[in-house]
Structures are given as structure tokens and as C-alpha cells.
Amino acid sequence: MDPQPKAKILVVDDSSTVLIMEELLLRRKYEVVKATGGMQALRLAAEQRPDLILLDIVMPDIDGLETCRLLRGMEATKATPIIMVTTRGEQKTMAAAYANGATDYVTKPIDHKDLLDKVERCLGARG
């Protein structure tokens, strides 16, 4: 019935609780792919070609700022919107996120309406 396939969102967070919460929030309307760290995110982004990436900053292998920078350097994801979703709300970290290629920024605890509004805005240019 719906001629356009669901947009694919790659959700990256080392917290299984956050991954589950974001998946529950998004899965009715979007296809959700999950990664638990920066290295896995880079691999999945190249393989899956998501329409949007939700990316935590504080992760054990490669932090989200470096992951964002690396995603911007990959042909498959150089133009993919990236929303940082993190507990780090200070101005310096936000500035670093945008400097590394973030499209938007959401702080935890996540305001569901705010996140969904930003997801919709980022995906509005899709297709």
C-alpha cells in the first residue's frame, strides 16, 4: 500500500537500554539497524546504507565524535544526516559534534517528541 519503503535508521549506542528504547520509539515507522560501538557502526553504515544515523558520543571503542568524522569521510555516508544522541550537553561538546559533521543534536534523557521531530526533519529531504 505504501509505495515508498521505510527509511532505514542506524542507531549507535553502547547502552542496550538506550538501543531498545530508541528501537521501540522508531520501529513503527522506520527500519532500525543497531550498533553498539563506533567500529560496528562504520561497518554497518557501509553495508546497510542508512537514511539517517543516531549516534552516541561516549562509547568504548571509537567515540561518537571520531565516528561521525569517519562517517563523513566515507562515500556511502558523506551526506547521510547524523543526529548525535548523548548525555554530553555542554557547548564545547556540541560545537565539536557539529565541527565533525553532525547534522543535529539531542541530549539524554531523550525527549521523544524532540527526537522524532528531528528525525522527521532530517528525513524530509530523503528520496
Note the pLDDT tens digit of each residue in 65-118: 999 999 999 999 999 999 999 999 999 999 999 999 999 999 999 999 999 999
Query: Residue 33: CA atoms inside 13 Å, Cβ hemisphere, count?
Result: 20
**Is pLDDT above 70 for 125?**
no
Residues 6+ apart with CB under 8 A from 54: 9, 10, 11, 12, 13, 22, 82, 83, 85, 115, 119
Instruction: Give this prediction's pTM.
Output: 0.94
pLDDT at 127: 42
C-alpha grid cell, residue 48:
546497510
Taking the domains of the chain in order of start, what are their residue ranges?
Answer: 8-122
The CATH code that applies to domain 8-122 is 3.40.50.2300
Q: What is the pLDDT of residue 5?
A: 83
H helix or E strand, kind and range, residue 91: helix 91-99
pLDDT at 60: 87
